[in-house]
Amino acid sequence: MGFAPVNIHYHLPIDLRVGGSKFFFFFFPLFALSIFFHSSALRPFLSSPPFSDYSFFESSGIHRHTPRLSICRLRAPIIKGRANELNKMREIVTIQVGDFANFIGSHFWNFQDELLGLAEDDGADPIFKNNFMDMDVLYRTGLTHQGAYTYCPRLISIGSQGSLGTLSSSGSLYGDSSSSDATDTLTWKGAVTKLAENPREKNLFLKSLSEEGEDDPNIEDKDRVQCLERDIKFWSDFSKVHFHSKSLYELNGAWTDFQNFDNFGDGKEVLLGGLHMEELNDRLRFFVEECDHVQGIQCTVDDSGGFSAVASEFLENIADDYTNIPVLLYSVRDTFSYTDATKQRKLITRSLHDAVSLSKLSTYSSLIVPVGLPSLGGLAPSLCVRDEKNFHSSAVYASAIHSISAPFRFKPAGPISNTTYAAGSLDIGEIIHILAGQNRQNMVAILDVSMPAPSLSDKANPGGILNSFHALGTEIGDDSEDLYMDESLILNGALFSGADWASVSQVKDSICNVYDKGLRVKPRPSHLSISLTPLPIPLPFPSIFPTTTGRRGEILADQPLEGPPKGSLEVESVPVMTRLRSSIAIKPFIECRYNNLLRHGMLRGAKGAGLLRDWGFGKDEVDDMGEHLSKMLRIFNPSSEMTSDSD
Amino acid sequence: MSIRVLNPNAEVLNKSAALHMTINAAKGLQDVLKSNLGPKGTIKMLVGGAGDIKLTKDGNTLLKEMQIQNPTAIMIARTAVAQDDSSGDGTTSTVLFIGELMKQSERCIDEGTHPRFLVDGFEIAKRATLEFLEKFKTPVVIGDTPDKEILKMVARTTLRTKLYEVLADQLTDIIVNAVLCIRKPEEAIDLFMVEIMHMRHKFDVDTRLVEGLVLDHGSRHPDMKRRAENCYILTCNVSLEYDKSEINAGFFYSNAEQREKMVAAERRQVDQRVMKIIELKEKVCSGTDKNFVVINQKGIDPPSLDLLARAGIIALRRAKRRNMERLVLACGGEAVNSVDDLTEDCLGWAGLVYEHVLGEEKYTFVEQVKNPLSCTILIKGPNDHTIAQIKDAVRDGLRSVKNTIEDEAVVLGAGAFEVAARKHLLDNVKRTAKGRAQLGVEAFADALLVIPKTLAENSGLDTQDVIVSLQNEHDQGTVAGLNHHTGDPIDPQMEGIFDNYSVKRQIINSGPVIASQLLLVDEVIRAGRNMRKPA
């Protein structure tokens, strides 16, 4: 087997300046290529490559304008000899819970679909060609009863009843022989009453994916893009992906008002007296059973309402059944969930919900990343997002989540592809370990994004590109003085200057430069992942780019500042840079939730105590939640950390 | 009026308007579910906006699918669904009964009776009816070997209201045998020990009972046998995969060699676990024609699968948690959490294990087991909605058999109980009530007739003729039910039409409670709908 260099953590002390008592580590665990950071010298070294025992057939994907056919892609199932466990594929199962989570997911899978399509397209830029990304990490190969191969996301999506729009809950690939002809009923010979809802009409974009609108020469892509900007009701309205028949689950709580499904109690109620969990566990088992070695579960939860209760129940089951599988959780919210509550009761409900939700979700996940701003106006001028459109905001969040997921699926192949196209492979367990397992055991991370990321050689910005980040969460404090910060940086398709993509070494040099010259505070434990593939912009991506954006997401100097925003027809790809950091800046976020739980739910005569009882929490359980939150807070307090160490 | 001061936007309905609103809602719900009742009811096909189909004749399923907004209707629906949750059937009957109670009350109230008197009368009538039910029920001796015939009759009565006769009769035997299979003396019946599995098949509608288990997954190695006879079954919950996260926790390496060693050590541990299983296999199987099957709740990674395959072992990973229990009940042996100290006693036994592949779905059949205490009902259907409907019917059937065994009693069906109870209320109970509460007793008694009336109506018979002839039979002292083919009175005992005692009991219990609550509503206030998301 030889030297197996995947994910080696080299720890080299490089800075002994502060006080002499603290050591700072700066390490880049990269497979097949590790960087020693010593003084200011940068010494990459290469090692012999491991070879995978798996072989892959040619894959065929789909491209953005072609109608979707069933996609055929095979993975050789036969294992010859003993597989090298270090190099084998490590699957991710994705879970989306709640309608906004599905909006984000819809964009996320569109990106993946676009990448698959571009890799097959001879006309596409060669940067999309190379196969250093292993899509099998997120996708699975399947077979229908009719013998056709399918290639679908390894996904479970939970939404409210009716949230699928024109999409059938059993997907379109595994079509069964069902007919809505009432006379075909096989189980009843008596009378049959048929009650049919009006069929929902597909929009121009969806029509172009199926055969219906294909031949119409009068409809151009421009019309399709416009129709998406005008009217999006369901996440499926802009989805171009085929889903597996077990992927989409509609939660049909008996007479639950999903318009007002806004607190933890509602969610718990929906799950009562049904076989929802049974069914969900079965579906998850279906996807996990076929995995050889799951690296983790990536879960997006709309935690602004009852769905966080659904998710926490599901995650609790997962924690029981699959003890060692790490869960990376994004708790997301749309801008509407921040609308000011006018009534006190509403205010208390909401703040208690937030506290309970954080406490419960963090109990059953390994790392939790709050995502969601009351307004995305702060991202201007690099993006112009309309806050009132979930279609817009979800696209930004999905881009960031896509960027983070890139290093999870770098293919462990030869060293050449690594140095050329990508570096810094990570798996979910490792990113969680970097952020939540080291200095502090803080498991709430902050997500920052820079999109489109400025070019590396941007002279106008002496602080380096690292100053272009915007946090995607709320209630974030200052961490410039935080000595225990951990971070993980991920760059997708960075531009060097103008519209030229940077090479891996250029990216590395620039980032190191920022730290070296002291332009950015000080070196701290950090991990860098680089993928040369930028974020592809699929047709159903919203028009949120300013007029100065070029085809590759570069800034065009000679463009007028005013004008309609650009969209997928003008911009083909953008560079995206994301950072996950675990720092003291998250303290206000947790503190606020803890204090609310204390004030409204736990103190004597608290106004929300009855509410918590209505949600089915006994006093002990509330105390446990309070204790859990206070423990999450205590880690930021060095003095109590000392005492907990001595325990 | 005070509410207007507090919230000028509030909408207030006064006493009589409020009452009529609730009564109308109850009647409306009754109308929707009416056609469901009985073996001549109408099945409903629901087609969603995206073409998804649902097929149901079950009041419970139908209620859950409906977008009910009226608060009264929601209250009734919740009661009816709770009925189903606790006793497995009777949703439609509950809704009909509540609706009819409201209808009868409306007549009295229009004539000037105060709802209070009706409510008092309901209470008297309810208690009397429950007492009557105790006398009326047919006791069933369960003992060690229950009377299969009576169980079949109960199951058939339920199933024939959900599925057409041929299918229902086929399922009847399966369901009774399934419950008797998992029944342990002196213990409550856990219906979860009956696995319900389905397969999609082109044209077939077929159901069969597998004495043993059907698992919805197969082995994950190409060299493992697809069919094996005389198998030892090892049921375990042991991780047979190399787990990097354990290494990650806190260890760091100063060089790659060290790391390599750690990885190898971890791998070795997994291999050792696998080797222990193989050792046991060699011990019990070598020199015989016996086979060895491992069914693991945790994962098994490719290297481990490879080792097992080479040793001729069939291995399945990620089994359902509940199947751990079922497997032990079906095959014997025990579920082990560690491979240390494995002995032959841990192993179960199955005469036949084989795999069935349908597209990407794999099924593993574990059959020919000794003394099974767990079994599988395997449903085949051409499409998802047919399968779902049969599954619902199977669940209801299982519940009815379980109820019978636990109640040790059944109640004559086909409307016989309702007619008899009405007669009892009018003849014996009514006069014991004071004053106008008598009206309540009378309304209650008349409301009971909604069941035979609806059965007749759904069969296309003349409701009044049927009721009159049934009442005549009862007046002469014979207990009679309705023959839904001819409309003539029949003896339900002879025809084998029996309902569950506990279901009936609960309908009589919960119906008047809800009706009374609704009758006493004298003001409806609609204020401040949620302002957050404007529709």
Mean pLDDT of A300-329: 90
A388 touches chain B (CB under 8 A): no
A81 or B131: which leads in pLDDT? B131
A83 touches chain B (CB under 8 A): yes
Mean residue pLDDT across chain A: 75
Which of B77, B74, B530, B61 is CA-nearest to residue A305? B530
How high is the pLDDT of residue A232? 85
**Residue A615 confidence (pLDDT) above 80:** yes
How high is the pLDDT of residue A400? 93
Catalytic residue among B79, B91, B94, B404: B91
How high is the pLDDT of residue B414? 84
How high is the pLDDT of residue A251? 84
Concerning whether B396 is annotated as a catalytic residue, the answer is: yes
Contact call for A165 and B239, based on CB within 8 A: no
Task: Show the tokens assigned to A188.
Answer: 């009843």
Contact A11, B253 (CB under 8 A): no
pLDDT classification of A614: cutoffs 50, 70, 90: confident
Which of A45, A48, A87, A255 is the best residue to mutate to test the B interface, defined by the most B CB atoms within 10 Å of its own CB? A255
Question: d(Cα A369, Cα A110) in Å, to the nearest integer?
Answer: 22
Catalytic residue among B92, B129, B235, B364: B92
Closest approach of B252 to chain A, Cα-based (Å): 7
Catalytic residue among B58, B89, B120, B499: B58
Q: Which of B50, B389, B533 sits opposite A336 (nearest CB)?
A: B533
3-state secondary structure of B294: strand
Which of A405, A360, A436 is CA-nearest to residue A621? A360
How many CB atoms are closer than 10 A to CB B227?
Answer: 12
Contact call for A168 and B383, based on CB within 8 A: no
- Tell me the CA distances in angstroms from A93 to A20, A137, A291, one per residue in order: 45, 8, 9
Question: In chain B, which residues have their Cβ closer than 8 Å to the Cβ of A85?
Answer: 242, 263, 267, 301, 303
Q: Provide the whole-model pTM.
A: 0.84
Compute and round to an integer the Cα radius of gyration of chain B: 30
Long-range contacts of A20-24 (CB under 8 A, 24+ apart): A22/A483, A24/A522, A24/A523, A24/A524, A24/A525
A347 touches chain B (CB under 8 A): no
Alpha-carbon torsion, ordered B37, B41, B42, B46, to 10 deg: 30
Q: Which of B43, B245, B381 sits opposite A326 (nearest CB)?
A: B245
Concerning whether B161 is annotated as a catalytic residue, the answer is: no
A497 or A216: which leads in pLDDT? A497
Which segment of A12-26, A383-397, B113-127, B294-308 scores lowest on mean pLDDT? A12-26
Mean pLDDT of A590-606: 86
The residue ranges of every structural domain in chain A are 15-81, 91-182+204-344+354-403, 345-353+585-647, 413-582
Concerning whether B446 is annotated as a catalytic residue, the answer is: no
A344 touches chain B (CB under 8 A): no
Within A70-185, residue ranges assigned H as helices are: 99-120
% of chain A residues with pLDDT over 90: 14
Which of A27, A52, A85, A291 is the best residue to mutate to test the B interface, defined by the most B CB atoms within 10 Å of its own CB? A85
The upper half-sphere exposure of residue B382, i.e. CA atoms within 13 Å in the direction of its Cβ, equals 11
How high is the pLDDT of residue A461? 63
Question: In chain A, which residues have their Cβ closer than 8 Å to the Cβ of B200?
Answer: 145, 176
How high is the pLDDT of residue A255? 64
**Residue A591 confidence (pLDDT) above 80:** yes
Q: In chain B, which residues have pLDDT < 50? A: 245-253, 528-535
Q: Which of B81, B164, B252 sits opposite A254 (nearest CB)?
A: B81
Question: In chain B, which residues have their Cβ closer than 8 Å to the Cβ of A182?
Answer: 45
Contact call for A259 and B383, based on CB within 8 A: no
Which CATH number is correct for A91-182+204-344+354-403, 3.10.180.10, 3.40.50.720, 3.40.50.450, 3.40.50.1440? Answer: 3.40.50.1440
The helix or strand, by DSSP H or E, that contains position B233, with its residue range, turns out to be: strand B227-236
Question: In chain B, which residues have their Cβ closer than 8 Å to the Cβ of A326?
Answer: 245
Question: d(Cα A212, Cα A450) in Å, to the nearest integer?
Answer: 39
How high is the pLDDT of residue B390? 87
**Residue A220 confidence (pLDDT) above 80:** no
pLDDT tens figures, A322-369: 888 899 999 999 888 887 767 778 888 888 899 999 999 999 998 999
Concerning whether B454 is annotated as a catalytic residue, the answer is: no
Is the ipTM higher than 0.90? The answer is no
**Residue A437 confidence (pLDDT) above 50:** yes
3-state secondary structure of A244: coil
- List Cβ neighbours of A123 (8 Å cut-off, separation of 6 or more): none
Q: If you ran DSSP here, which 8-state letter would residue A241 be given?
A: -
Q: Which of A145, A180, A292 sits opposite B302 (nearest CB)?
A: A292
A72 or A160: which leads in pLDDT? A160
How high is the pLDDT of residue A176? 58
pLDDT classification of A27: cutoffs 50, 70, 90: very low
Contact A352, A608 (CB under 8 A): yes
A139 or B531: which leads in pLDDT? A139
- Give me the DSSP letters along A553-599: SPBPTTS-S-SPPB-TTT--EE-EEEEEEESGGGHHHHHHHHHHIII
B363 or A178: which leads in pLDDT? B363
Q: Which of A322-326, A411-415, A454-458, A500-504 has the highest mean pLDDT?
A: A322-326
A-B C-beta contacts closer than 8 Å: 207
- Tell me the CA distances in angstroms from B361 to A246, A267, A281, A440, A520, one per residue in order: 12, 32, 17, 45, 54
Query: For A10-109, where are the E strands, in sequence order?
Result: 13-15, 24-25, 33-38, 41-46, 91-97
A137 or B477: which leads in pLDDT? A137
Question: In chain A, which residues have their Cβ closer than 8 Å to the Cβ of B252?
Answer: 9, 11
Within A210-254, residue ranges assigned H as helices are: 221-230
Question: d(Cα A300, Cα A297) in Å, to the nearest integer?
Answer: 10
pLDDT tens figures, A531-570: 888 899 988 899 888 888 888 888 887 777 777 888 888 8
